[in-house]
Amino acid sequence: MHYIDPKTLSKPSNHKFIIQVVSFALLILVSFWFAGFSVIEIFQNLIYSGRLLSRMFFPPDWSFTDNAIRGLIETIQMAILGSTVGAFFAFPVALLASSVFTPNIYFRAPSRFILNIVRTIPALVMASLFVAIFGIGNFAGVLALSIFSFGLVSKMLYESIESIDLGPIEALISTGGNKLEILRFAILPQILPQYLSYTLYAFEVNVRAAAVLGYVGAGGIGQVYERVLAWRQFDRVGMIVIMSFVTVLIIDYISSYLRRRLVK
Protein backbone atom coordinates (compact mmCIF):
# COMPACT_ATOMS: atom_id res chain seq x y z
CA MET A 1 0.00 0.00 0.00
CA HIS A 2 1.48 3.33 -1.12
CA TYR A 3 1.21 6.32 1.15
CA ILE A 4 0.40 9.65 -0.51
CA ASP A 5 1.61 12.70 1.31
CA PRO A 6 -1.20 15.30 1.35
CA LYS A 7 1.41 18.04 0.95
CA THR A 8 2.33 16.70 -2.50
CA LEU A 9 -1.25 17.02 -3.78
CA SER A 10 -1.71 20.14 -5.89
CA LYS A 11 -4.79 22.32 -5.56
CA PRO A 12 -7.19 21.89 -8.49
CA SER A 13 -6.91 24.71 -11.01
CA ASN A 14 -9.89 27.02 -11.28
CA HIS A 15 -8.82 28.43 -14.65
CA LYS A 16 -11.47 26.40 -16.48
CA PHE A 17 -14.23 27.75 -14.23
CA ILE A 18 -13.02 31.34 -14.69
CA ILE A 19 -12.94 30.93 -18.47
CA GLN A 20 -16.49 29.56 -18.45
CA VAL A 21 -17.78 32.44 -16.32
CA VAL A 22 -16.05 35.06 -18.47
CA SER A 23 -17.31 33.44 -21.67
CA PHE A 24 -20.87 33.36 -20.36
CA ALA A 25 -20.64 37.01 -19.28
CA LEU A 26 -19.34 38.01 -22.72
CA LEU A 27 -22.17 36.08 -24.37
CA ILE A 28 -24.74 37.96 -22.27
CA LEU A 29 -23.15 41.34 -23.03
CA VAL A 30 -22.99 40.65 -26.76
CA SER A 31 -26.63 39.54 -26.69
CA PHE A 32 -27.59 42.80 -24.96
CA TRP A 33 -25.71 44.75 -27.62
CA PHE A 34 -27.29 42.92 -30.57
CA ALA A 35 -30.77 43.22 -29.04
CA GLY A 36 -30.34 46.95 -28.49
CA PHE A 37 -31.20 46.59 -24.80
CA SER A 38 -30.67 49.80 -22.87
CA VAL A 39 -31.17 50.25 -19.13
CA ILE A 40 -30.87 54.01 -19.59
CA GLU A 41 -33.75 54.04 -22.04
CA ILE A 42 -35.89 52.09 -19.56
CA PHE A 43 -35.34 54.73 -16.86
CA GLN A 44 -35.93 57.54 -19.35
CA ASN A 45 -39.38 56.12 -20.15
CA LEU A 46 -40.46 55.36 -16.59
CA ILE A 47 -42.59 58.53 -16.40
CA TYR A 48 -44.38 57.68 -19.65
CA SER A 49 -44.89 54.09 -18.46
CA GLY A 50 -46.41 55.33 -15.21
CA ARG A 51 -48.84 57.58 -17.08
CA LEU A 52 -49.83 54.71 -19.37
CA LEU A 53 -50.44 52.36 -16.44
CA SER A 54 -52.53 54.97 -14.68
CA ARG A 55 -54.70 55.35 -17.79
CA MET A 56 -55.09 51.57 -17.98
CA PHE A 57 -55.88 50.69 -14.37
CA PHE A 58 -56.97 53.86 -12.51
CA PRO A 59 -59.72 53.12 -13.21
CA PRO A 60 -60.31 50.51 -15.95
CA ASP A 61 -63.43 50.77 -18.10
CA TRP A 62 -65.71 48.19 -16.50
CA SER A 63 -68.50 49.02 -18.95
CA PHE A 64 -66.54 47.08 -21.58
CA THR A 65 -66.73 43.86 -19.54
CA ASP A 66 -69.36 42.18 -21.74
CA ASN A 67 -67.24 42.62 -24.88
CA ALA A 68 -64.18 41.23 -23.09
CA ILE A 69 -66.10 38.22 -21.78
CA ARG A 70 -67.32 37.39 -25.29
CA GLY A 71 -63.74 37.58 -26.56
CA LEU A 72 -62.47 35.41 -23.71
CA ILE A 73 -65.19 32.82 -24.34
CA GLU A 74 -64.14 32.68 -27.99
CA THR A 75 -60.52 32.30 -26.91
CA ILE A 76 -61.34 29.41 -24.56
CA GLN A 77 -63.46 27.71 -27.24
CA MET A 78 -60.60 28.06 -29.73
CA ALA A 79 -58.15 26.61 -27.18
CA ILE A 80 -60.43 23.66 -26.38
CA LEU A 81 -61.01 22.80 -30.03
CA GLY A 82 -57.39 23.32 -31.04
CA SER A 83 -56.07 21.21 -28.15
CA THR A 84 -58.55 18.40 -28.80
CA VAL A 85 -57.93 18.20 -32.55
CA GLY A 86 -54.16 18.48 -32.15
CA ALA A 87 -54.01 15.83 -29.42
CA PHE A 88 -56.23 13.49 -31.44
CA PHE A 89 -53.82 13.44 -34.39
CA ALA A 90 -50.76 13.51 -32.13
CA PHE A 91 -51.50 10.06 -30.69
CA PRO A 92 -51.02 7.94 -33.86
CA VAL A 93 -48.03 9.98 -35.03
CA ALA A 94 -46.33 9.59 -31.63
CA LEU A 95 -46.85 5.83 -31.88
CA LEU A 96 -45.35 5.75 -35.36
CA ALA A 97 -42.38 7.83 -34.22
CA SER A 98 -41.64 5.54 -31.28
CA SER A 99 -39.22 2.65 -31.66
CA VAL A 100 -41.19 0.78 -28.99
CA PHE A 101 -44.28 0.45 -31.18
CA THR A 102 -42.72 0.98 -34.64
CA PRO A 103 -39.42 -0.88 -35.01
CA ASN A 104 -39.44 -0.32 -38.79
CA ILE A 105 -37.24 2.73 -39.45
CA TYR A 106 -38.96 3.45 -42.78
CA PHE A 107 -42.16 4.27 -40.89
CA ARG A 108 -40.46 5.78 -37.86
CA ALA A 109 -38.11 8.22 -39.60
CA PRO A 110 -40.79 10.11 -41.60
CA SER A 111 -42.93 10.46 -38.46
CA ARG A 112 -40.04 11.98 -36.50
CA PHE A 113 -39.28 14.27 -39.43
CA ILE A 114 -42.88 15.52 -39.40
CA LEU A 115 -42.67 16.19 -35.66
CA ASN A 116 -39.47 18.20 -36.08
CA ILE A 117 -40.91 20.26 -38.93
CA VAL A 118 -44.17 21.08 -37.16
CA ARG A 119 -42.43 22.12 -33.94
CA THR A 120 -40.16 24.60 -35.73
CA ILE A 121 -43.06 26.73 -37.06
CA PRO A 122 -44.33 29.33 -34.53
CA ALA A 123 -48.08 29.44 -33.95
CA LEU A 124 -48.17 33.13 -34.91
CA VAL A 125 -46.64 32.37 -38.32
CA MET A 126 -49.16 29.58 -38.92
CA ALA A 127 -52.01 31.86 -37.88
CA SER A 128 -50.84 34.55 -40.32
CA LEU A 129 -50.69 31.98 -43.11
CA PHE A 130 -54.17 30.61 -42.37
CA VAL A 131 -55.63 34.12 -42.14
CA ALA A 132 -54.23 34.81 -45.60
CA ILE A 133 -55.79 31.56 -46.92
CA PHE A 134 -59.13 31.38 -45.08
CA GLY A 135 -59.66 35.00 -44.09
CA ILE A 136 -59.99 36.76 -40.75
CA GLY A 137 -61.82 34.78 -38.05
CA ASN A 138 -61.70 32.04 -35.47
CA PHE A 139 -61.25 29.24 -38.01
CA ALA A 140 -57.71 30.34 -38.85
CA GLY A 141 -56.87 30.51 -35.15
CA VAL A 142 -58.25 27.03 -34.46
CA LEU A 143 -56.16 25.59 -37.30
CA ALA A 144 -53.01 27.25 -35.98
CA LEU A 145 -53.66 26.05 -32.42
CA SER A 146 -54.43 22.53 -33.67
CA ILE A 147 -51.10 22.26 -35.46
CA PHE A 148 -49.27 23.80 -32.50
CA SER A 149 -50.95 21.35 -30.09
CA PHE A 150 -50.18 18.47 -32.43
CA GLY A 151 -46.47 19.27 -32.36
CA LEU A 152 -46.39 19.82 -28.60
CA VAL A 153 -48.39 16.75 -27.52
CA SER A 154 -46.89 14.35 -30.06
CA LYS A 155 -43.32 15.22 -29.06
CA MET A 156 -43.93 14.77 -25.33
CA LEU A 157 -46.04 11.64 -25.86
CA TYR A 158 -43.41 10.11 -28.12
CA GLU A 159 -40.78 10.61 -25.41
CA SER A 160 -43.12 9.03 -22.83
CA ILE A 161 -43.64 5.96 -25.02
CA GLU A 162 -39.88 5.58 -25.40
CA SER A 163 -39.45 5.39 -21.62
CA ILE A 164 -42.26 2.95 -20.69
CA ASP A 165 -41.69 -0.42 -19.03
CA LEU A 166 -41.04 -3.00 -21.78
CA GLY A 167 -41.93 -5.96 -19.58
CA PRO A 168 -45.66 -6.10 -20.47
CA ILE A 169 -44.82 -5.75 -24.17
CA GLU A 170 -42.33 -8.63 -24.06
CA ALA A 171 -44.86 -10.77 -22.19
CA LEU A 172 -47.53 -10.18 -24.84
CA ILE A 173 -45.10 -10.86 -27.68
CA SER A 174 -44.07 -14.15 -26.07
CA THR A 175 -47.72 -15.24 -25.97
CA GLY A 176 -48.32 -14.27 -29.59
CA GLY A 177 -49.98 -10.90 -29.05
CA ASN A 178 -50.48 -8.68 -32.09
CA LYS A 179 -49.92 -4.93 -32.44
CA LEU A 180 -53.40 -3.92 -31.35
CA GLU A 181 -53.20 -6.11 -28.25
CA ILE A 182 -49.79 -4.67 -27.39
CA LEU A 183 -51.17 -1.16 -27.78
CA ARG A 184 -54.31 -1.84 -25.75
CA PHE A 185 -52.92 -3.90 -22.88
CA ALA A 186 -49.24 -2.87 -22.62
CA ILE A 187 -48.73 0.65 -23.97
CA LEU A 188 -52.03 2.47 -23.47
CA PRO A 189 -52.36 1.81 -19.71
CA GLN A 190 -48.88 3.25 -19.17
CA ILE A 191 -49.19 6.40 -21.28
CA LEU A 192 -52.87 7.34 -20.96
CA PRO A 193 -52.44 9.51 -17.82
CA GLN A 194 -49.49 11.32 -19.42
CA TYR A 195 -51.40 11.72 -22.69
CA LEU A 196 -54.33 13.40 -20.94
CA SER A 197 -51.93 15.51 -18.89
CA TYR A 198 -50.13 16.71 -22.01
CA THR A 199 -53.46 17.58 -23.63
CA LEU A 200 -54.44 19.67 -20.62
CA TYR A 201 -51.04 21.37 -20.69
CA ALA A 202 -51.53 22.17 -24.39
CA PHE A 203 -54.90 23.70 -23.49
CA GLU A 204 -53.22 25.93 -20.88
CA VAL A 205 -50.67 27.13 -23.42
CA ASN A 206 -53.30 27.61 -26.12
CA VAL A 207 -55.42 29.91 -23.96
CA ARG A 208 -52.46 32.29 -23.74
CA ALA A 209 -51.42 31.77 -27.35
CA ALA A 210 -54.93 32.42 -28.67
CA ALA A 211 -54.83 35.88 -27.10
CA VAL A 212 -51.79 36.71 -29.24
CA LEU A 213 -53.11 35.17 -32.46
CA GLY A 214 -55.91 37.72 -32.57
CA TYR A 215 -53.38 40.38 -33.52
CA VAL A 216 -53.09 38.81 -36.98
CA GLY A 217 -56.85 38.41 -37.30
CA ALA A 218 -57.20 34.87 -35.96
CA GLY A 219 -60.10 35.64 -33.63
CA GLY A 220 -60.51 35.57 -29.87
CA ILE A 221 -59.65 38.18 -27.27
CA GLY A 222 -56.58 39.18 -29.29
CA GLN A 223 -58.77 40.92 -31.86
CA VAL A 224 -60.45 42.88 -29.06
CA TYR A 225 -57.00 43.89 -27.77
CA GLU A 226 -55.95 45.00 -31.24
CA ARG A 227 -59.11 47.07 -31.76
CA VAL A 228 -59.00 48.99 -28.47
CA LEU A 229 -55.24 49.57 -28.78
CA ALA A 230 -55.71 50.96 -32.27
CA TRP A 231 -58.16 53.50 -30.84
CA ARG A 232 -55.84 54.10 -27.84
CA GLN A 233 -58.61 53.21 -25.39
CA PHE A 234 -56.20 52.29 -22.62
CA ASP A 235 -58.83 52.11 -19.89
CA ARG A 236 -60.48 49.29 -21.85
CA VAL A 237 -57.08 47.66 -22.38
CA GLY A 238 -56.58 47.63 -18.61
CA MET A 239 -59.94 46.00 -18.04
CA ILE A 240 -59.15 43.31 -20.66
CA VAL A 241 -55.76 42.67 -19.04
CA ILE A 242 -57.41 42.16 -15.64
CA MET A 243 -60.10 39.86 -17.05
CA SER A 244 -57.53 37.86 -19.04
CA PHE A 245 -55.25 37.52 -16.02
CA VAL A 246 -58.04 36.20 -13.80
CA THR A 247 -59.24 33.79 -16.52
CA VAL A 248 -55.79 32.38 -17.23
CA LEU A 249 -55.08 32.07 -13.50
CA ILE A 250 -58.26 30.05 -12.92
CA ILE A 251 -57.63 27.82 -15.96
CA ASP A 252 -54.02 27.19 -14.94
CA TYR A 253 -55.06 26.25 -11.41
CA ILE A 254 -57.78 23.84 -12.55
CA SER A 255 -55.58 22.31 -15.24
CA SER A 256 -52.62 21.90 -12.88
CA TYR A 257 -54.85 20.23 -10.31
CA LEU A 258 -56.23 17.79 -12.89
CA ARG A 259 -52.77 17.01 -14.24
CA ARG A 260 -51.48 16.25 -10.74
CA ARG A 261 -54.40 13.89 -10.22
CA LEU A 262 -53.76 12.15 -13.54
CA VAL A 263 -50.07 11.39 -13.01
CA LYS A 264 -50.52 10.00 -9.49
The predicted-structure confidence for 115-159, as pLDDT tens digits, reads as follows: 888 888 888 888 888 888 888 888 988 999 999 999 999 999 999
Choose among 159, 248, 173, 178: nearest CA to 209: 248
Task: Write the CB contacts of 158 (distance below 8 Å, at least 6 apart in sequence).
Answer: 93, 94, 97, 98, 112, 115
Given a cut of 70, is residue 3 above it in pLDDT?
Answer: no
Helix axes 123-134 and 188-213, enclosed angle (nearest 10):
70
More confident residue, 105 or 5: 105
Residue 7, pLDDT score: 52
Confidence of residue 2 (pLDDT cuts 50, 70, 90): low
Residue 217, pLDDT score: 78
pLDDT in tens, 29-40: 888 888 888 778
Residue 227, pLDDT score: 85
Section 91-95 average pLDDT? 93
Q: What is the chain's percent helix, strand, coil content, to nearest 5?
A: 80, 0, 20
Q: Which domains does the chain have, with CATH numbers?
A: 76-263 (1.10.3720.10)
Residue 199, pLDDT score: 93
pTM for the model stands at 0.81
